[in-house]
Copies of this chain bind each other. A is one copy, B any other.
Amino acid sequence: MNIEMIRAAAERLRGHTRVTPLLSSPFLDEIAGRRVLVKPECLQHTGSFKYRGARAALSALDPDLRARGVIAFSSGNHAQGIAKAAAEFASPAVIVMPSDAPALKIANTRDLGAEVILYDRATQDRDEIGAALADERGLTLVKPFDEPQVIAGQGTVGLEIAAQAAEAGVREAEVLVPCGGGGLTGGIALALAADAPGLTVRPVEPEGFDDVKRSLETGQIASNAHTTGSICDAIITPSPGEITFPILAALCGPGLTVSDDDCLRAMAAAFTRLKLVIEPGGVVALAAALYQPEALSGDSVIVVATGGNVDAELYAEALARFG
């Protein structure tokens, strides 16, 4: 895993992924007590950054394997990314999704042309289900984060941040990234280490599901006791990956955690101040920037908003409580 793989992915993604802008609002700056720059990957195709990694992986795959098809496990955004990228290569895609994933994500994945197979998170083993299907149909597994080409694709967010931060005059800042398995966080960290060494990545997780934060503290991969029970389910993984963790350990600052209520509050702020729809798991970094200013340093903070695939009902709740 290295910066050249990220640059190569950026070449392959050119004209397919959107270069998302870097947004800001004086009202958010005021809440945070510093300049807040937001990278809205909710505006990426399929509504999340996951399309970058999916397209990067599909485009790097041997054409014969690609023609047989791919399989992925996902609570939603990786699923949509893979579904779209596979459709673009006319490649069959099977997505194994938890049955409690947001309805919108399941529907979108199907509408994008993938075959969706649901499983029960509590009682079934998705790896077993997936392995059996992959064997039977000769499908290639595209892992959601512990996969070099996926990390390379997500890392293109970092290349864009490096260029856009420089353009905005920001040379030193913390870059807060919503962190599940660490594919996006690791990819961005690698890209920034190469192109913007004054920018330091800090992973952000939901309270009570801080496997990455604890892993960084001890230097050993730690696990979450549970993987459900937060509105940020989409970014909860059992533990950081074997490929991603060493990258995070080498390059990232300390982890941060945020409460579900602060996520709802940040969702309302994104709506009102940025005109953006951000999903709970995608808003954790903005929540940390806005409501934990004392945990951060520097005049500016850069925040990645990873996705916007959220059921309208939950957003309405956020607006009713905090809008």
Binding site for B on A (CB under 8 A): 18-21, 23, 26-27, 40, 42-43, 47, 104, 108, 111-112, 268, 271-272, 274-278, 308, 312-313, 315-316, 319-320, 323
Top 9 closest pairs, chain A to chain B, by CB? A312-B323, A275-B308, A312-B319, A275-B277, A42-B275, A316-B316, A316-B319, A271-B277, A47-B275
Q: Which residues of B contact A26 (CB under 8 A)?
A: 111-112
Interchain nearest-CB distance for A108 vs B (Å): 8
Give A245 to B22 CA distance when docked, in angstroms: 36
A48: nearest residue on chain B (CB-CB)?
B275
Chain B nearest Cβ from A273, distance in angstroms: 8
Given the interface contacts A277-B276, A308-B275, does A21 sit within 8 Å of B18 by beta carbon? yes
A104 to B274, CA, bound (A): 13
A-B residue pairs in contact (CB < 8 Å), sample of 15: A18-B23, A20-B21, A21-B21, A26-B112, A27-B108, A43-B276, A104-B272, A271-B312, A272-B312, A275-B276, A275-B277, A277-B277, A312-B319, A313-B319, A315-B319
Q: Which residues of B contact A315 (CB under 8 A)?
A: 271, 319
CB nearest to A20 among chain B residues = B21
Task: Give the distance to chain B from A16, nearest Cβ to Cβ, in Å.
Answer: 13
- Which B residue's beta carbon lies closest to that of A108? B27
| Cα–Cα, bound, A277→B315 (Å) | 12
